[in-house]
Structure 1
Amino acid sequence: MPKITWENPFCGAGNNCFRLGTDSEGNAYITVSGQEDTYLTDTREALATLIRDIKAGKADHLL
C-alpha cells in the first residue's frame, strides 16, 4: 500500500464526507472519510477536475 497523505475531509450538506490524498510519486487518491483503506486512484489532474465539477454543481448527485 502506498504512503498516502490525506487532506481534511470535504463534506456536503447532509451527505458522506470524502477525502483527497496524494503520494510521493504524484498520484492522487479519493475515498469516503473513515474508509481510507478503500480508495480510487488516478492522476491528480483527473481527480482535481472531478472535485471542481462536483463543487460547481455539475455532479452534486455524487455527494
Structure 2
Amino acid sequence: MSDITWEEPFCGEGNNCFRLGTDAEGNAYIAVAGQEHAYLTDTREALAALIRDIKAGKADHLL
C-alpha cells in the first residue's frame, strides 16, 4: 500500500470533518478526520466526479 497524503480537514457545521487524500498510484481516499485508518478509496477521477455531483446538488436529497 502506498503512503496517503491527506489534505487539511474540511469541516461543515457541527464538527462534521472529513479529509481527502491521494497516493502516488492514482488512488483517492476520503475519511472522517481522526479516523483516517478507516477510509473509502477509489480512483481520483471517481472522487472528482463525486465532488462535481455534490456541488451540482445531486446529493441534496441525502441532507
1:6-56 deviations in Å (ceiling 9; x for gaps): 011111222511111011111111111110001010000111221232234
TM-score (norm. length: structure 2): 0.78
Query: What number of residue pairs does the alignment pair up?
Result: 62
Residue type at the aligned position of 1:40: L
TM-score (norm. length: structure 1): 0.78
| 1:1-63 matches, cutoff 5 A | 1-60=1-60, 61=62
RMSD: 1.9
Moved over 3 A (4+): none
More helix by share: 2
More contact order relative to length (CA 8 Å, sep ≥ 6): 1
Distance 1:38 1:23, change over 3 A: same
Larger Rg: 1 or 2?
2
Distance 1:11 1:52, change over 3 A: farther
